[in-house]
Structure 1
């Protein structure tokens, strides 16, 4: 069973979002996503300053099994990328909600956070996917 922290919001493409309370949000991939990918070997992220539109592809996570595109759950400007992932992409498997966050974004529309899934709704999405596997 995947970990689904209650304090985060989620996208249906398996990114988690933490509202930092200052007009920025931290984005990563969920425990469910990293389990489905398997051993992560490479993470490609955007440059600081990149403008992201909601739903736009912003990077790639590659594992020994597959490559998976990352999609921006919210629009905004990338203000920080996690440099740790360049040297240690496997940390996505080890700590998807802590050390292995992907990017921090200054939100264009902070109200968009409310349109994302809460932990219960994301848990239902994951359960449905696991049943269909």
Structure 2
């Protein structure tokens, strides 16, 4: 049976479905990997070389606990999706200009208009700025 091509209007919806399917498969394999590691550690620690103990451990594994483990990680995945939607560069955030910085700028502007510059103002008991000395970087290599 040949593959049916999707219409152009359905591409976005199909991309969403593809992402959901990919996340589900990745999640499934991650949980399988974790489950296998736990079983191996239990067998090594508890059973040792005993075949009876290994059989008991392997028979205690049930399908329900595995499915519960698959279902419980949904909250973590939802929070990661929300984090992906937020812009990582601070300039792209909606609240980039908002905050304490604007208030500080307006306070500094008012002080500058009164003739009280914040750089050399000793009247406000502020520490004067230190002058930077021109230091050359140490380019000598340690010989061993």
Which TM class, normalised by the smaller chain length? under 0.3
User: Larger Rg: 1 or 2?
Assistant: 2
Larger RCO (CA under 8 A, 6+ residues apart): 1
TM-score normalised by the chain length of structure 2:
0.20
